[in-house]
Structure 1
Amino acid sequence: MTQTTAITKAILSFRDVEAKLNLQQSTDPHLFYEWNESLPELSNAEEISLERLSARYLRYLEEGEVNEGTLNIILLSPLLDALGLCDPPYRIRGEAWVEVQTTIDAEEGMTLLEGRIDALTLQEQFWLVIIEGKRGGFNVLQAVPQTLAYMAATPHPDRPVFGLVTNGYDYLFVKLVRENRREFALSHNFTLLSDEQSNLFRVARVLKHLVSIAGTNMGNGKLGSILER
């Protein structure tokens, strides 16, 4: 018998990720090498756009007006546009429902996890997940377990899946591998006001690089975008 449970109720911690999704955090520092290898340079126009977006976000943050909705409007969608990810050969499609099948308990049978989150998916291989920017004590690391659940829903288990979890101020990249082994790994946590190597410029360079890898893996050059709630 198949039961249905919301991802937001079933996957709350890294322990849930291991027990219910059969995913383990890798101890191999080389599993997620892509975020720290040779990265593409940004054009002058891209750098000017990113400086403007950083300044805009900080103004909204000072006024206490950053939430999931405004974050997408003032920062993330313009960021994708500035990097050329909203135009052909990429395309944007609407809201979608995500389901993950998993066997949580042999006696209970198969459990179907389902739900929606605020996210953009690029080519079904890259998830950009938005979390509430002003929840007290809520950081990007706490959002990783549910992000992994959604990443596990992609229909290509033979290909690595990448993700970016952000609240606008902190940025954490995720890699999920399910071929031969079921592991995930995390990048450093980049913050908006850190040094030159860890600000929005670095985030944008990593994003461009991982998206290009995802596009190569998919081989079709298309972008699927999901705005979920």
Structure 2
Amino acid sequence: MSIAITEAITTIAEAERKFKLSRTEDEAFFLEWQTSLPELSDAERLALDEARRRYLYQRSQGQLLEGTVTLLLASPLLAIAGFYDPPFRVRAEASVQLTLEDEEEVLQGRIDVLVLLNQFWVVVLESKKTALSVWTALPQTLAYLMANPQPEQPSFGMVTNGDEILFVKLVQREQRLYGLSRVFAPFSSSQELRNALQILKQISRAIGEGVE
């Protein structure tokens, strides 16, 4: 039986149960958002400030839908981080399918934005409208990360509603574990958005070293 991921996985508890996932709070598990973050160039800072200014203007007019959040904030972040340039490839609305173990269910969904390096997944991006918390997108983001066709490699996700950004790391080795960053708030501070860009650049570097 085929069912949409958004219908089958609606809570974090469901995602953990269906995929046999456990959250780890071991700081060493998800170092990519915490240590040795790359410095930003003046050009990157200027481009980021411009993207934030545009987002704040549109946000001041009212709530924003998912597509607008992607257009105004998430897409510029990926572009400035270099994910729209070689050697990366980008797919919008990428279809994924996942068969649950021990259950007669096939989960189907569409990733808002998927960044790839060769055949390796680099970042799964999930956007939500500003009226919703980033936590509402975490269950389906975990499902998308579980669909990674290279489970031997770590998977990374970025969840944003524009006002907040959350990063996720998932591994499927001896154990299926995931870890979370803190929530960044670009709406409140330009430094928060700069931190998010640094993390994306760090993830790019980590994945690139892992697939060489």
Residues 28-51 of structure 1, C-alpha deviations (whole Å, 9 max, x = no match): 232112210110000000000011
Question: Given the alignment, which residue of 8, 11, 16 partners 1:10?
Answer: 8
Kindly report which structure 2 residues correspond to 1:1-229, keeping only aligned pairs within 5 A, or say none: 3-64=1-62, 66-93=64-91, 95-103=93-101, 106=102, 109-123=103-117, 124-133=121-130, 135=131, 138-194=132-188, 199-219=192-212
Structure 1 residues not aligned, in runs of 5+: 220-229
Deviating 4+ runs (over 6 angstroms): none
Determine helix, strand or coil for the equivalent of 1:91.
strand
The answer on whether the counterparts of 2:97 and 2:108 sit within 8 Å (CA) in structure 1 is yes
**TM-score, normalised with respect to structure 2:** 0.91
Separation in 2 of the partners of 1:73 and 1:157?
29
Higher-RCO chain (CA-CA 8 Å, sequence separation at least 6): 1
The answer on whether the counterparts of 1:161 and 1:214 sit within 8 Å (CA) in structure 2 is no
Which has the greater radius of gyration?
A: 1
Q: Which amino acid aligns with 1:169?
A: D
Determine helix, strand or coil for the equivalent of 1:116.
strand
CA gap of 1:93–1:15, structure 2 versus 1, over 3 A, is closer
Cα distance, 1:101 vs structure 2? 1.4
Q: Which amino acid aligns with 2:17?
A: A
The answer on whether the counterparts of 2:158 and 2:166 sit within 8 Å (CA) in structure 1 is yes
* Aligned positions, number: 209
Separation in 1 of the partners of 2:88 and 2:111?
22
The answer on whether the counterparts of 1:68 and 1:118 sit within 8 Å (CA) in structure 2 is no
Moved more, 60-69 or 113-122: 113-122
CA gap of 1:217–1:161, structure 2 versus 1, over 3 A, is same
Structure 2 residues not aligned, in runs of 5+: none
Determine helix, strand or coil for the equivalent of 1:189.
coil
**TM-score, normalised with respect to structure 1:** 0.84
The answer on whether the counterparts of 1:39 and 1:205 sit within 8 Å (CA) in structure 2 is yes
Separation in 1 of the partners of 2:36 and 2:92?
33
Moved more, 123-132 or 113-122: 113-122
The answer on whether the counterparts of 1:11 and 1:149 sit within 8 Å (CA) in structure 2 is yes
